[in-house]
């Protein structure tokens, strides 16, 4: 199959065609020609005003709930949602039933890559059943293709277990991913502790629960001389700790979720259960500080924290609702609405995650396999439930005006278009 993309602006600092408008001819999944005026016949011609493209986007924290919780999401529906959001690679969380904690579970996820439009990369569990008690079979999972290791939505609480994990992955230069949260602090907390939680009468969880875990894990990573990625950072103080650790030569990276750049705890006045997330939404001042940190380069990646929940666990009292919202399809539009420039977005969701987790660079150059996201920055639209490909609909962005639309992906010989 031949695909001709007409007059697209290429956003790829590693490419000699960066920031130029070019035609691109793709033949059987390979970039065959890049030029200003290509007239070759093609099976599919893509021509849109204002079209941009970049190396395919990467999400490093996606919960596909499969196996075990397929009523919330499957690997197939998660892959469709990822493609709709412009992602060609997603890292799949291990919090399934059974847990992704051995070679066979890693292979179960990888086997799906034959039939879905994106690449699924299994994240192996750090501990058995993600219970935080004893290490899982990380070496076997790594040799089978696990891209990183994490207990996913269950942060590792034991410092002793965490340091063993950090030391263990050094043997193959692996990366540990941690959501920093000391669950012993305000375990009944439903939202950020502050003025709003007091006014709403909801038990709060202080930012200190995150900050203490960040400080602890930085020390453990320094001791182990290992590699750690924090995801879901929501506190400016946590970013201060991380910035100092980087300056000190510790191999620490971090990511924030789009919803922490768009919403604050004040948006919970309506008790919208879709806004019940972990880590919780912080104050408006914290939200603006996170945006500033993104623009200043203190944040390495954006991760969707796509966490589908079924209707029964979201259409209920706030106290009983489960934490999490879907996010794959709204990442680009939310970042645009938050005022993040296009070049910075591509750095955060394509360039940096590929470097941190040693994925193929996917440079836009002749002879390379096509791994491309097509998008229209600046296009404003209202996100609706009709835009959701996920099995679950728990998005707080329904009805919100977003900025920037995905036009499609080309991933090897697979193509998904959205226009």
Q: How confident is the model at residue 168 (pLDDT cuts 50, 70, 90)?
A: very high
- φ/ψ of 38, rounded to 5, equals -95, 130
Question: Can you give the pLDDT at residue 140?
Answer: 97
What average pLDDT does this structure show over 22-32?
98
In this prediction, residues 169-176 reach a mean pLDDT of: 97
pLDDT digits (tens, 9 = 90+) for 222-272: 999 999 999 999 999 999 999 999 999 999 999 999 999 999 999 999 999
141 and 150 in contact (C-beta within 8 Å)? no
d(CA 163, CA 15): 39
pLDDT tens profile 174-201: 999 999 999 999 999 999 999 999 999 9
pLDDT per residue as tens digits for the range 45-99: 999 999 999 999 999 999 999 999 999 999 999 999 999 999 999 999 999 999 9
- Measured CA to CA, the distance from residue 248 to residue 240 in angstroms comes to 12
Tally of CA atoms within 13 A in the half-sphere of 128 that contains its CB = 4
**How many angstroms separate the most distant Cα atoms in the chain?**
65
Residue 238, pLDDT score: 98
The span from the first CA to the last CA of the chain, in angstroms, equals 20
Whether 123 has a pLDDT exceeding 90, the answer reads yes
Average pLDDT over residues 330-352: 98
Listed in sequence order, the DSSP H helices in 347-390 are 352-356
The pTM is what?
0.97
What's the pLDDT at 419? 85
Cα(288)–Cα(40) distance, integer angstroms: 48
Measuring CA to CA, which residue among 383, 385, 409, 336 is closest to residue 83? 409
The CATH fold of domain 2-52+366-417: Urease, subunit C; domain 1 (2.30.40)
Mean pLDDT of 9-21: 98
pLDDT at position 234 is 98
The pLDDT-based confidence of 6 (bands split at 50, 70, 90) is very high
389 confidence band (pLDDT: 50, 70, 90) = very high
Domain boundaries, the chain: 2-52+366-417, 56-356
Average pLDDT value over all residues in the chain: 97
Nearest to 7 by CA among 40, 55, 56, 52: 52
**What is the CATH class of 56-356?**
alpha beta
Handedness of CA 32, 364, 349, 401 (dihedral sign): negative
Averaged over 393-405, what is the pLDDT?
A: 98
Q: How far apart are CA 229 and CA 255, in angstroms?
A: 8
Q: pLDDT tens for residues 279-310?
A: 999 999 999 999 999 999 999 999 999 999 99
Average pLDDT over residues 361-373: 97
Query: Region 205-210: what's the mean pLDDT?
Result: 98
pLDDT above 90 for 148: yes
């Amino acid at each position: 199959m031949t695909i001709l993309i007409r007059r697209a602006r290429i956003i790829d600092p590693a490419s000699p065609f960066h920031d130029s408008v070019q035609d691109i001819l793709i033949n059987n999944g390979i970039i065959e020609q890049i030029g200003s005026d290509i007239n070759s016949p093609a099976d599919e011609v893509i021509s849109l005003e204002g079209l941009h493209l970049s190396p395919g986007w990467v999400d490093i924290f996606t919960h596909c709930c499969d196996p075990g919780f397929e009523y919330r999401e499957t690997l197939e529906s998660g892959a469709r949602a990822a493609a709709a959001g412009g992602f060609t690679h997603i890292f799949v969380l291990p919090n399934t039933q059974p847990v992704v904690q051995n070679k066979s579970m890693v292979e179960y996820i990888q086997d799906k890559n034959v039939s879905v439009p994106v690449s699924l990369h299994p994240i192996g569990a750090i501990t058995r059943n993600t219970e935080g008690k004893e290490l899982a079979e990380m070496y076997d999972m790594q040799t089978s293709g696990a891209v990183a290791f994490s207990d996913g939505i269950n942060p590792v609480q034991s410092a002793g277990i965490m340091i063993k994990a950090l030391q263990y992955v050094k043997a193959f230069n692996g990366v540990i991913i941690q959501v920093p949260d000391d669950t012993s602090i305000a375990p009944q907390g439903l939202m950020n502790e502050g003025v709003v939680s007091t006014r709403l009468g909801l038990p709060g969880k202080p930012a200190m629960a995150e900050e203490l875990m960040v400080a602890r894990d930085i020390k453990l990573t320094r001791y182990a001389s290992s590699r750690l990625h924090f995801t879901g950072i929501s506190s400016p103080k946590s970013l201060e700790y991380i910035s100092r650790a980087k300056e000190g030569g510790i191999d620490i990276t971090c990511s924030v979720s789009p919803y922490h750049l768009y919403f604050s705890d004040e948006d919970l006045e309506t008790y919208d259960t879709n806004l019940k997330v972990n880590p919780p939404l912080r104050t408006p001042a914290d939200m603006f500080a996170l945006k500033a940190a993104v623009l200043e380069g203190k944040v390495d990646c954006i991760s969707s924290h796509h966490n589908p929940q079924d209707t029964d666990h979201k259409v209920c009292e706030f106290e009983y609702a489960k934490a999490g919202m879907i996010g794959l399809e709204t990442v680009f539009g939310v970042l645009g609405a938050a005022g993040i420039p296009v070049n910075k977005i591509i750095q955060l969701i394509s360039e940096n995650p590929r470097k941190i987790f040693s994925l193929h660079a996917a440079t836009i150059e002749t002879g390379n396999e096509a791994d491309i996201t097509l998008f229209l920055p600046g296009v404003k639209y209202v996100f609706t439930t009709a835009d959701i490909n996920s099995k679950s609909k728990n998005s707080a962005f329904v009805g919100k005006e977003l900025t920037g639309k995905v036009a499609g992906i080309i991933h090897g010989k697979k193509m998904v278009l959205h226009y």
